[in-house]
Amino acid sequence: MQVFKKDLAAIYAEIAGITKVEADRRITTILELISSYLEEGYDVKLSNFFNFFVKERAAKEGINPITKEPMTIPATRTVHVKMTKSLKERIQGKR
């Protein structure tokens, strides 16, 4: 089963007693704020939920699978997400 942002917004709107549009706006604002901090290279830690952090991947040598010629794979930045211990325990039913 999947839950989409619009589903979260609908549930949040009902709980908070606000419109779905306002709930979606608030959720979008928070997600954009997290994204902007990650873009700047900051780690984002949400207690009892997830930790988001940026990892730098160095450039490396590879082989083009079609032409078999050596090539350089450029350096990249990626976002990694790690679940907190408390959330992991809740999911596994240990709490």
- pLDDT digits 0-9 by tens, 45-92: 999 999 999 999 999 999 999 999 999 999 999 999 999 999 999 999
CB count in 10 Å sphere of residue 23: 22
Question: What pLDDT was estimated at residue 1?
Answer: 86
pLDDT above 90 for 31: yes
CA dist., res. 35 & res. 41, Å (int): 10
Say whether 65 sits in a helix, a strand or coil.
coil
Domain ranges, ordered by start, for the chain: 1-40, 43-95
How many Cβ atoms from other residues are within 10 Å of residue 84's Cβ?
A: 15
Torsion from C-alpha of 18, 20, 25, 26, nearest 10 degrees: 50
Q: What is the pLDDT of residues 54-64, one digit of tens each?
A: 999 999 999 99
CB 46 within 8 A of CB 86: no
- Both tokens assigned to 29: 């604002």
Architecture of domain 43-95: Irregular (4.10)
pTM: 0.75
